[in-house]
Amino acid sequence: MPSAADFAAIRLTLELAAVTTAILLVVGTPLAWWLARTRSRLKGVIGAVVALPLVLPPTVIGFYLLVTMGPHGPIGQLTQALGIGLLPFSFAGLVVGSVFYSLPFVVQPLQQAFEAIGERPLEVAATLRAGALDTFFSVVLPLARPGFVTAAVLGFAHTVGEFGVVLMIGGNIPEKTRVVSVQIYDHVEALEYAQAHWLSAGMLAFSFLVLFLLHSRKSGGVR
Amino acid sequence: MRAILARLLCAAAAVLSCAAAQAAEVSVAVAANFTAPMQKIAAVFERDTGHKARLAFGATGKFYAQIRNGAPFELFLSADDTTPAKLEEDGSAVAGSRFTYAIGKLVLWSAQAGVVDDQGEVLKRGAFAHLAVANPKTAPYGAAALEVLRKLGVAEALAPKLVTGENIAQTHQFVATGNAELGFVALSQVWAEGRLSGGSAWLVPAELHAPLRQDAVILAKGRDNPAARALVEYLRGAKAAAIIKSYGYGQ
């Protein structure tokens, strides 16, 4: 049976994924819009930076975050100057790590959705004297809706599955930074296989369900 | 002349092939606190015997779970004496091959000078945000650290400040990067050439926790491996003893 600590880990994981997804949609939308529209030479560089978490081991992200968010790192000095204190071993620190970690999973579907809209609807809106913001909210957002759903679902699910980053910067603190993946790791190390199974099977079912719904929705849309 | 040369070449080839046949490889699981000394010992061992030691470092509890589930390790250098005993009972280790290779020392350490006093009073004052310990469930040094906190009567007061590393190496990383102001690590991690390599520390008195007797055991998979036996012999020898001592371990 799952213990109280398991449920605490599940609740914490869902909170982390929800907060991270919300931030990523706010930050990722203008970023994806810029990537979809720009002719700047910086596009390649920014696009590559956004995609980095796809290929980097999470331990690399976690290690550099631990160092840069530490008391001698640039982020750490900034947060200390702002009076926030240090980010590692805190929920806020996990959010920062997760935003990096899940960035491509939100930005890339959005960018593809924006690119798929093309020039034409924007030109039409412009001839009707719609302003940039009006165009974005009345034309772009409705047309890119499926992209937003995909981005939100992938960002959420990918954050739920996060492990390496949390292990490096989390400190394994109950109800603060001990997420499901770390809890599973602890159970396995302590040979508590029954409890590890409960959580692992839950993760497996959740991940499958998310991807299944996403895929069936997509193929439904094509038809 | 040519015949002699040919015979010499033959003899040389025989010696070489003979050495090649004898040189074996042993795969060793090593408790994270013993990383630095073991790397040194393995290098000397390879040079002296021709055998090769392939080392994996991690938490003792993790290795226990992996070995129970068929990990291909042949020799295990644990951070405690109970895990090797359990493996022997399970039949996962060779009966009678267990021995103590080092006695670990626990140290309260900060990367900054002047944070940790030499009596450990800093724990009672509690003027810090984070105290790093290794996971007490899986790392013997973590369990010993909690024992110390309980004996000092500060375990409950400090519980909200604990951050837990997956093993002693990660715990050291938390403190070394300054994210945790102080933490319980193995003396071997902060001790080199007879002195503290940096920061400030309190060597925890041995009576505050159960002795960190670190046992090694030959695992079932290494039963017939000559390199496993050779490495055990080597670990018990004078050269290894000198290296082990230089990292602050007792024997």
Six-digit token string for A206: 């959740």
Chain B contact set for A189 (CB, 8 A): 59, 61-62, 65, 135, 137-138
Q: What is the pLDDT of residue A112?
A: 96
pLDDT digits (tens, 9 = 90+) for B144-156: 999 999 999 999 9
In three-state secondary structure terms, B153 is: coil
Cα nearest neighbour of A67 on chain B: B177
Q: How many helices (H) and strands (E) does chain B have?
A: 11, 12
The one-letter amino acid code at B248 reads G
What mean pLDDT do residues A96-121 have? 95
Contact call for residues B133 and A173 (beta carbons, < 8 A): no
Task: Specify the pLDDT at position A33.
Answer: 95
Inform me whether the C-beta atom of residue A198 falls under 8 Å from chain B C-beta atoms: no
Where would I find the H helices in B99-225?
122-125, 140-151, 155-158, 168-176, 187-190
The candidate with the shortest Cα–Cα distance to B49, out of B200, B229, B173, is B229
Tally the residues of chain A. Answer: 223
| Average pLDDT over chain A, rounded to an integer | 92
User: How far apart are the C-alpha atoms of B139 and B104, rounded to whole Å?
Assistant: 13
| Structural element, H or E, at residue B213 | strand B212-218
Q: Check pLDDT > 70 for residue A92.
A: yes
| pLDDT for residue A30 is more than 70 | yes
DSSP lists the bridge partners of residue B29 as: B56, B76
- Summarised one tens digit per residue, pLDDT across range A35-81 is 999 999 999 999 999 999 999 999 999 999 999 999 999 999 999 99
Distance CA B95, CA B92 (A): 9
Distance (Å, whole) CA B230 – CA B71: 21
Longest dimension (CA), chain A: 67
Predicted local confidence at residue A126, as pLDDT: 87
Query: How large a percentage of chain B has pLDDT more than 70?
Result: 91
Whether the CB of A179 is below 8 Å from some CB of chain B: the reply is: no
Please check whether residue B179 touches A, CB under 8 A. yes
Q: Is the pTM of this model over 0.95?
A: no
More confident: B21 or B221: B221
Looking up tokens 């331990």 gives A59
Cβ contacts of A190 on chain B, cutoff 8 Å: 61, 65, 137-138
Partner A contacted by B163 (CB < 8 A) = yes
The DSSP string of chain A is ---HHHHHHHHHHHHHHHHHHHHHHHHHHHHHHHHHH---THHHHHHHHHHHHHHS-HHHHHHHHHHHSSTTSHHHHHHHHTT----TTSHHHHHHHHHHHHHHHHHHHHHHHHHHH-SHHHHHHHHTT--HHHHIIIIIHHHTHHHHHHHHHHHHHHHHT--HHHHHHS---TTTT--HHHHHHHHHHTT-HHHHHHHHHHHHHHHHHHHHHHHHHHHHHH-
Give me A8's structure tokens: 């605490």
| Residues of chain B contacting residue A70, judged by C-beta atoms under 8 Å apart | 177-179
Closest Cα to residue B228, out of B239, B237, B219, B215?
B219
Mean pLDDT, residues B90-103 taken together: 96
The torsion angles phi and psi of A92, rounded to 5 degrees, stand at -60, -40
Give the pLDDT band (50/70/90) at residue A191.
confident
> Which pLDDT value is given to residue B250?
86
Say whether pLDDT at A220 is over 60. Answer: no
- Would you call A88 an interface residue with chain B, using a CB distance cutoff of 8 Å? yes
pLDDT tens digit sequence for A192-212: 889 999 999 999 999 999 999
CA–CA separation, A43 vs A66, rounded Å? 28
Q: What pLDDT sits at residue B12?
A: 57
- What local confidence, expressed as pLDDT, does residue A222 receive? 42
Asked if residue B190 lies in contact with residue B132, where contact means CB atoms within 8 angstroms, the answer is no
Cβ–Cβ of A89/B180 closer than 8 Å? yes
List beta partners, residue B100: B215
**Residue numbers in B near A167 (CB within 8 A):** 166, 170
